[in-house]
C-alpha cells in the first residue's frame, strides 16, 4: 500500500507514507501501526496529520457524518479532548484531536466496544 520508512521493534511495526487521502480530504502524512514484531499480530491504528494546516483534520468530519458516523465530543477543546466518531458494526472508530500539542491528528483505531467516555 506504499507505506515505507518502517521502524520495527519486538512489540510493533510503524511505517509512514506521504500524500494520503481520507474521505476525499488531504493530502495527509500518515503512519500505520501494526502489533508485534514485523507487524505479525495485525493492525493497531492509522494516524494522519497535515504538516502545515492544523484545521485540515476537521475537513474529514462532514464526510463521516454524511456516511452515518456519530460524533461524541469528549471535552471543550482543552488539552487532550477528542472528537470520537463511531458507527454501529464498524470495526474501527475515528478520533480527531480537538485541541493539540504539536500536530492535530486523525487516528483510526480498532473498535474495542467501550464507550468513548462522557459525550458533551
Dihedral sign for Cα 114, 115, 118, 119, please. positive
Q: In what order do the strands lie in the sheet with 4-8?
A: 4-8, 12-22, 25-35, 42-49, 105-110, 92-97, 82-86, 70-73
pTM: 0.87
Q: What is the pLDDT of residues 56-95, one digit of tens each?
A: 999 999 999 999 999 988 876 666 688 999 999 999 999 9
Of the pLDDT bands very low, low, confident and very high (cuts 50, 70, 90), residue 99 is confident
Residues 71, 61 contacting (CB under 8 angstroms): yes
Fold of 4-110: Protein Transport Mog1p; Chain A (3.40.1000)
Average of per-residue pLDDT values in the chain: 88
Domain boundary assignment for the chain? 4-110
Amino acid at each position: 500500500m506504499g507505506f515505507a520508512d518502517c521502524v520495527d521493534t519486538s512489540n510493533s511495526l510503524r511505517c509512514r507514507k506521504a500524500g494520503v487521502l481520507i474521505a476525499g480530504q488531504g493530502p495527509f502524512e500518515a503512519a500505520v501501526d501494526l502489533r508485534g514484531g514485523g507487524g505479525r499480530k495485525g493492525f493497531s491504528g492509522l494516524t494522519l496529520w497535515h504538516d502545515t494546516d492544523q484545521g485540515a483534520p476537521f475537513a474529514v468530519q462532514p464526510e463521516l457524518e454524511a456516511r452515518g458516523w456519530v460524533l461524541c465530543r469528549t471535552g471543550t477543546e482543552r488539552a487532550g479532548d477528542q472528537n470520537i466518531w463511531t458507527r454501529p458494526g464498524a470495526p474501527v472508530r475515528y478520533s480527531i484531536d480537538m485541541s493539540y500539542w504539536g500536530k492535530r491528528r486523525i487516528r483510526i483505531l480498532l473498535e474495542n466496544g467501550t464507550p468513548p467516555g462522557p459525550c458533551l
